[in-house]
Amino acid sequence: MTDADDRANRLRLGIAREFRRRLQGEYVPRITRCVADLGEDAVWRRPAPNCNSVGNLLLHLCGNTTQWILAGLGDATDARDRPAEFAASGGDGGPALCARLAEVVDQACAVVDRLDAAELLQPRRIQGYSETGLSAVLHVLEHFSGHAGQIYAWTKQVTGEDLRFYDL
């Protein structure tokens, strides 16, 4: 193995490790806690008619991660129905939605773990965009961050409590 191959491998492993740390170690546990703090009555409640419920956001995170990582970088079929993610006004309860999100994230982390440096740089089309494996990984991290922030903010507004994530 050359020095360049070794550096590429270390970079690949670092990307996979950070992807896993953020999704499994930060976002999913915090979102799960928010859903528990909100209680079943609030999971499908929309803050306003033009806003999404936490349930919608959980469906959306599952759909996006499946499309961009499982189908875009893995071998899953892209059968996403994005409008349905936002149209839903009820369905599974909070614990089931969180379990589904954790399962999708586990599968996505396994896909990212398997990518080599060439696959991270390989061009591909995802959701109609020209992407690389790395840009898809970064997209999912960014996307999770934005919607997790919405869930955190809604939870703080509903409960009136400081989530104290920094104490975890």
- CA–CA gap between residue 168 and residue 158 (Å, rounded): 21
Class of domain 3-167: mainly alpha
Which of the four pLDDT bands, split at 50, 70 and 90, describes residue 4? confident
Q: How does pLDDT run across 40-96, given as a tens digit for each residue?
A: 989 999 999 999 999 999 999 999 999 999 999 999 999 999 999 999 999 999 999
- CA–CA gap between residue 94 and residue 115 (Å, rounded): 32
Q: How do strand 123-126 and strand 129-132 relate by DSSP bridges?
A: antiparallel
Q: How does pLDDT run across 97-147, given as a tens digit for each residue?
A: 999 999 999 999 999 999 999 999 999 999 999 999 999 999 999 999 999
